Amino acid sequence: MGCEAATKEEVATKEQAAAQEQVAIKTEVVTKGVATTPDAANKIEAEKETGTPDNAASTLTSTDDQTIVSSSIVTGLESLTVLDLRQRLADGELTAVAITRFFLDRIIAMNNLGPRLNAIIQTNPDAIAIAQELDRKFAESGPTGPLHGIPVVLKDNIDTGDAMETTAGSLALAGHHAKDDAFLTARLRAAGAVILAKANMSEWANFRSNDSSSGWSSVAGQTRNPHVLDRNTCGSSSGSAVAVAAGLSPLAVGTETDGSIVCPAGINGVVGIKPTVGTVSRRGIIPISHTQDTAGPMAKTVLGAAILLEALVGYDPRDRGARRFPTPVNFMPETQTLDLNGTRIGVLRSFFGSGKYPGVERIFTSTIETLTDLGAEIVDPVRIESTSTLRDAEFAVMKFEFKAGIAEYLGEHGNPNNLATLADLIAFNNANATSVMPLFGQNVFTESEAMAGLSDPAYQTALEGSALLVRRAFTEAFSEHDLDVLIAPVNAPAWKTDWVHGDRFQLSSSSLAAISGNPSVVVPAGYISSLPVNIAFIGPAFSEPVLIQVAYAFEQATRAFQPPRFLPTLETDQ
C-alpha cells in the first residue's frame, strides 16, 4: 500500500507525537513471555538510549537461569539450515531443548539487546516444556514429524491456543488469547515444530492507514532491518522476515494479502513463498481479504521454505476458499541436478518499469543470464499491465471483505475489550489515540467501514475488475508464450524508516500473484550498498513444485544470501 504526502501541519503533529513516544518508551519496560530480572530491566533501559523506540517491546531472559545472555556468545546454530538441524538431531548431537534454548537466548541478545531488532513481540513460555516432550518422544520412537524439534516463529495475527496473545500488533486486541490453534498452527505442532514466539508486524497487516510505517505496531513499536538498522523492513510480515534473516529462528510463518510475505522477504534477504490461495488454511488468522489472504513460509534457503510449506499445506473444509492440489505433490526440489533445459521463463517488466533503478536492473540482468546458463528458455518481455483502475478495484475488494471478515473473526473469538465490529475498533482507536495512533491514523479503517455488505453489486464489480481480470490476463500470457514461470524483481533497496511521511515503496511485482491468487517464490539475488534485492518466480495456481525447483536451481547457482551485518546506517542514501 502506498502513502500520500503529508501537510505541514500533519508533519508537525507526527514529529511531536514521535518525540512524545520516545519519552514514554524510555520510562517503561513492558514484559511478555518470560519473566525478567531487575538487572535485565536495567540493561534494557540503558540500551534504549541508543536503540530505536519500541512502544511495548517484550523483555526476555533465558528460560534456563533467568540471566541475560551476551550477544557475543549467542552464536553457532543461527547459521545452520533446517536440514542441518534435523541431521544433528538425528545424530544425537543436539536435542530439541538445546536448539530451543539457543534461539530463546539469541532473541534476548539480538532482539531486546544488541541491535534491538524488535522483531519478536513475545516468546512462548511453554517452548522449553514442548521441546522436552519432543525429546522424550524422540528417545522412545524417533522424530514425530518433518519439523521435529525445529523452532518456528508465527506472525502475531495467527492464533495459538496457548499462553501467547494474538493481537495483529494492535493494542485494541491486547490480552486476547485465542481459544484454539489456527489450523496451520495445529499442523505445525503435528509436524513436531516448537512454536517459539510471535513476530512483530505492521499493525493490522498494514491495513489501518495509507500513511503507515511498515513494521510498526502499537503493541511493540518499530521493527528494525538487520542489514542496516535505520532502514525499513517492509511488511506486513516484518518480524517474521527479520527473525529468519537475523537468526532468531530457523523458520517463520508470515501472511500476505498483497506483498506482505514477498516484500519483507526481499527487503531482509530471505526466501519467502506465497502459496496458491486456499491451499494453506486461513482459519484462525486475523483476516483482510478472503479472496487474497494466505499464510506462507520464510527461511534462509529454498529447501527450508519447502519443508515448512509441506507442513502448512492441508485442506481445511472450514475455510470457505479452501483448495486442494489436483494431484499429490512433493514440494522438495530435485537436488541432484540444476538443469533447467526446457523450462520457459517469461520476463515481467511492466509491473516495475525499466531503467529507473540501475542497481536493480543490473541484478535482474544477471539473474536472466544465470537462468539462461542453467538451460532455461527466456521470453523477454512478457507484458501484463498494472493500471490504477486495477489497483483501485483490488483495494475496494479488500475494504469490502475486511469489514465483513473482521466482524466474523471478532464475533467467533472474542477479546478483552469486547470489540465485535470494525466500527468498534475505530471507536477504540479514537478513544485511545495517544497510544494507538501516535504516528498515523486509520483512514483505511474508516473507508472500509463505509463499504456496504458483500451482497452489494459494487463488490462484484470490484471483483470482476481485479481478481477475475488478472486471472484471465495471467492465463492468456502463459498460454500465448507457453510459459512455465514468470520472473520479476521483488524490491528496490530498503528505504529509511520515516514516521512522518510513511513508507516509500520504489517498485513492486507482488500484485500479479496476489490478485490472481497464484503462487510466487522469492529468493535473494544480490545486494546494493549492503541492502538485499530478491527475485520473484511466479506461476499459475498449484505450480509451487515447479517454482521451487527453478528457485532452488537459481539459489544454488548464485549463492546470493548473505547474513546481515547490523550496520547502524549507510553513508549514502541509496
Catalytically active residues, by annotation = 155, 236, 260
**Long-range contacts made by residues 8-16, C-beta under 8 angstroms, separation at least 24?**
11/500, 11/501, 14/439, 14/440, 14/499, 14/500, 15/500
Q: What is the DSSP string of 308-376?
A: HHHHH----TTSTT----SS----SPP-S----TT-EEEEE-TTT-SSS-HHHHHHHHHHHHHHHHTTP
Query: What distance in Å separates the CA atoms of residue 520 and residue 314, rounded to the nearest whole number?
Result: 18
Residue 479's Cβ-count burial label (10 Å; 0-12, 13-18, 19+) is exposed
Query: What distance in Å separates the CA atoms of residue 420 and residue 338, rounded to the nearest whole number?
Result: 52
How many other C-beta atoms can be found within 10 angstroms of the C-beta atom of residue 411?
10
DSSP H or E segment with residue 38: helix 38-47
Backbone angles phi, psi at 154, to 5 degrees: -110, 140
Q: 211 and 438 in contact (C-beta within 8 Å)?
A: no
Sign of torsion, CA 562 564 568 574?
positive
In angstroms, the Cα distances linking 471 to 63, 186, 468, 475, 550 are: 49, 32, 5, 6, 22
Query: What distance in Å separates the CA atoms of residue 161 and residue 107, rounded to the nearest whole number?
Result: 22
Radius of gyration of the chain (CA): 22
Q: Angle at the Cα of 317 (from 311 to 321), degrees rounded to 5?
A: 90
Residues, the chain, total? 574
How many other C-beta atoms can be found within 10 angstroms of the C-beta atom of residue 354?
10
DSSP H or E segment with residue 449: helix 443-449
Query: What distance in Å separates the CA atoms of residue 125 and residue 128, rounded to the nearest whole number?
Result: 7
> Angle between the 302-312 and 544-558 helix axes, to the nearest 10 degrees?
160
Query: What distance in Å separates the CA atoms of residue 532 and residue 265, rounded to the nearest whole number?
Result: 9
SS3 track for 117-170:
CCCEEEECCCHHHHHHHHHHHHHHHCCCCCCCCCEEEEECCECCCCCCCCCCCC
C-alpha cell at 570: 549507510
Residue 541's Cβ-count burial label (10 Å; 0-12, 13-18, 19+) is buried
Q: 400 and 392 in contact (C-beta within 8 Å)?
A: no
Q: Give the torsion through C-alpha atoms of 173, 177, 180, 182, to 10 deg.
A: 50
C-alpha cell at 103: 534461539
Residue 455's Cβ-count burial label (10 Å; 0-12, 13-18, 19+) is exposed
Q: Which residues contact 461 (CB under 8 A, 6 or more apart)?
A: 393
